[in-house]
Amino acid sequence: MHFFNESDPRYIFFHVSSDGCILFRFEYKPKKIKTENGKKAKKRKQEYEDEEEEERSTDGSKWKFLEHKGPVLAPPYEPLPGHVRFFYDGKLLRLSAPAEEVATFFAKMLDHEYTTKEMFRKNFYKDWRKEMTSEEKSKITDINKCNFTEMSEYFKAQSEARKQMSKDEKLKIKEENERILQEYGFCVMDNHKERIGNFRIEPPGLFRGRGDHPKMGMLKRRIRPEDIIINCSKDSKHPKPPQGTRWKEVRHDNKVTWLVSWTENIQGSIKYIMLNPSSRIKGEKDWQKYETARRLKKCVERLRAQYREDWKSKEMRVRQRAVALYFIDKLALRAGNEKEEGETADTVGCCSLRVEHIKLYPKMDDQEYVVEFDFLGKDSIRYYNKMPVEKRVFKNLQLFLENKQPEDDLFDRLNTSILNKHLQELMDGLTAKVFRTYNASITLQQQLKELTSPDESIPAKILSYNRANRAVAILCNHQRAAPKTFEKSMQNLQTKIDEKQKQLSATRKQLKGAKTEHKASHDDRSKKMVEVKRKAVQRIEEQLMKLQMQATDREENKQIALGTSKLNYLDPRISVAWVKKWDVPMEKIYNKTQREKFAWAIDMAEEDYEF
DNA sequence: GGTGTGACTTGACCCCAATCTT
DNA sequence: AAGATTGGGGTCAAGTCACACC
């Protein structure tokens, strides 16, 4: 059997009226499997299509046929060569293989700051001891007496050697990776060959949580076939476990989209292997998400009026819900589920805000009723913002704060489940996160409208696009650490600009000279010269402008990450429409992967698309 | 309601290969 | 050819939300 490799998605969609809102039913048709030629194939094709028309009905099944090769397991541990030594308390100590493996995890991280953190060291040491022989346990009693430097040096040398490999060797590795990708990186789901997202099982190592994580440094154990659940069709060719091993389970659950799962030992949560964002199943979901956000657009004013009304409610519960919703809407905060204390870093979202996270200022500078937010959100990224709010919100907040300690919940009568139940009643499919999607997308659309000037150049248009994107990223608080090389790369760019500037003035001077000469001689040759110089000036001006745009863009982007909003919050059809409207090449906005992920939108949206 | 679990989306950061510069 | 830079992909942690069960 062989497959199409080029993706040429086709879509069918229906409008379904519900509650005055238009719903879409997504029917995404990526490439078909190309089977044998001839009548038989034609007949099969017809069968597939007949099947497809009736599929995705009401029973919640996600697929009918699923076949894959299973995961790629982590490579087995390779013991260190004899010359790499470990010292305890200054004395050479030969470690057993299991203890050595865990020690190498630590050694590999030695240059990272977190290996100096007490919590990291403590957790590592505790888990490391579990891997030691009783003899090792009795000898090694203090992690501070462990010397991992030779191991660390060895790994550094290894990675150095890898960099120094010849072209041939590198090519071989590349080919091998390609082979593995071809073998394990694709599956067949309902007549389509689809790319798998993460087909490699996570290798063992030391857990590194984000922020101040209580479990940092713990051993993330090796996943064996016996830990792995395979999900595929009964009538498919089941993936084979490695010789002499067996899977934990092979199941055939078409109510879920994952192919492989296992339970991770740090939090005890389940990890999955799923399809790539370019797949039908992910694309449909993505489309659906934006359609829900568009339905919110249609009723958002009604909901806003409602929560403003609720600020006056005599029920505390309702007031809290209404203020929280106001924050979610206005500031694009996340819902804020409760978390188990001591299991994860201490971070919050809207519903889990605590008294200590906000400060109220009846007056601040020339503004009234200012709320200052300062808390750690997802991934322990700090959210800091000062916002003037309406008097009624302010008064409510004062009320919520009464008689509370800093560590008490701000919204003590509210959680995400209550909030989402309420939202569900207001609009079918509405949850807290839809507001983020809606506000992000609507902001992009508005900003694009506002910032794009019809007669600016393509680079200027791209700057406008990035600025619109940036407005969203700021709204959603998508920050990044300023790149380590930021200052330098900025400087380099500035040098380039200075040089261009010099070049420009030199060329301008030449143009002037050419003009004078032409005035004097009036011959063809001097006329040509003027033209040549004029063109040169123009070209250099363009180059200079492009550089300046780039510099502005980069500077403004120093601590802002655009990727997350682009990938997860912005209805791609807005961008596609914009690109088509202004004749900006699609590649300037979406790279190859993004174009694959958003193939449905590129296909669907015309320049008049309105979110 | 409260709690636990499962499935799926969102998120920042790291690394490396491709590309650009010297 | 070697070194520097950068974009993009991969990684895997950390969210959201639905649902089952009591």
Query: Other C-beta atoms within 10 Å of A230: how many?
Result: 23
SS (H, E, C) A208-227: CCCCCCCCCCCEECCCCHHH
Q: Is the pLDDT reported for residue A34 higher than 70?
A: no
Q: Is the pLDDT reported for residue A238 higher than 70?
A: yes
pLDDT of residue A164: 79
Q: What one-character DSSP code corresponds to residue A503?
A: H
More confident residue, A17 or A285: A285
Q: Which residue is nearest to nucleotide B1 (CA to C1')?
A: A418
Q: Which residue is nearest to nucleotide B5 (CA to C1')?
A: A269
Q: Using the structure, give the distance in angstroms from the CA atom of A72 to the C1' atom of C11, rounded to a whole number.
A: 15
Q: Is the pLDDT reported for residue A383 higher than 70?
A: yes
More confident residue, A41 or A171: A171
Question: How sure is the predictor about A519, in pLDDT bands with cuts at 50, 70 and 90?
Answer: confident
pLDDT tens for A84-106 read: 999 999 999 999 999 999 999 99
Asked if the Cβ of residue A431 lies within 7 A of any atom of strand B, the reply is no
For residues A260 and A228, the answer to whether their CB atoms sit within 8 Å is yes
For residues A102 and A127, the answer to whether their CB atoms sit within 8 Å is yes
pLDDT tens for A128-155 read: 999 999 999 999 999 999 999 999 999 8
Q: What one-character DSSP code corresponds to residue A234?
A: T
pLDDT of residue A547: 77
Q: For strand C, which nucleotides have at least one atom less than 7 Å from a protein CB?
A: 5-19
Set A307, A569, A590, A609: catalytic member: A569
Q: For strand B, which nucleotides have at least one atom less than 7 Å from a protein CB?
A: 1-14, 16-18
Query: Please, what is the end-to-end C-alpha distance for chain A in angstroms?
Result: 42
Q: Is the pLDDT reported for residue A33 higher than 70?
A: no
Please state the pTM of the whole predicted model. Answer: 0.86
Closest to A88 in 3D by CA, of A22, A132, A30: A132
For residues A350 and A335, the answer to whether their CB atoms sit within 8 Å is yes
* Secondary structure tally for chain A: helices H, strands E: 18, 17
- Judged by C1' against the alpha carbon of A479, the nearest nucleotide is B12
pLDDT of residue A530: 84
- Average pLDDT for A165-184: 85
CA–CA separation, A52 and A48 (whole Å): 6
- Judged by C1' against the alpha carbon of A380, the nearest nucleotide is C14
Q: Which residues contact A423 (CB under 8 A, 6 or more apart)?
A: A325, A430, A431, A432, A434
Q: Within 13 Å, how many C-alpha atoms sit on residue A311's CB side?
A: 21
Element (H, E) at A524: helix A524-556
Q: Using the structure, give the distance in angstroms from the CA atom of A289 to the C1' atom of C16, rounded to a whole number.
A: 13
- Average pLDDT for A583-602: 92
pLDDT of residue A289: 95
Asked if the Cβ of residue A147 lies within 7 A of any atom of strand B, the reply is no
Q: What is chain A's Cα-based Rg?
A: 30
For residues A219 and A127, the answer to whether their CB atoms sit within 8 Å is yes
Asked if the Cβ of residue A257 lies within 7 A of any atom of strand B, the reply is yes
Partner residues linked to A12 by β-bridges: A27
Q: Within 13 Å, how many C-alpha atoms sit on residue A351's CB side?
A: 19
Asked if the Cβ of residue A595 lies within 7 A of any atom of strand B, the reply is no
- Average pLDDT for A422-428: 95
Q: Which residue is nearest to nucleotide C2 (CA to C1')?
A: A164
Q: Using the structure, give the distance in angstroms from the CA atom of A122 to the C1' atom of C21, rounded to a whole number.
A: 37
Q: Is the pLDDT reported for residue A49 higher than 50?
A: no
Q: Using the structure, give the distance in angstroms from the CA atom of A245 to the C1' atom of B13, rounded to a whole number.
A: 35
Asked if the Cβ of residue A563 lies within 7 A of any atom of strand B, the reply is yes
Question: How sure is the predictor about A58, in pLDDT bands with cuts at 50, 70 and 90?
Answer: low
A369 is catalytic: no
For residues A439 and A329, the answer to whether their CB atoms sit within 8 Å is yes
Query: With b meaning 16 or more CB within 10 Å and e meaning fewer, what string describes A239-250?
Result: bebeeeeebbeb
The sheet carrying A367-376 orders its strands as A358-364, A367-376, A382-388
Q: Which of residues 159-188 of A touch strand B (CB under 7 A)?
A: 159, 170, 173-174
Partner residues linked to A358 by β-bridges: A373
Chain centroid to CA A201? 20
Q: Is the pLDDT reported for residue A51 higher than 70?
A: no
Token pair belonging to A370 = 């200012």
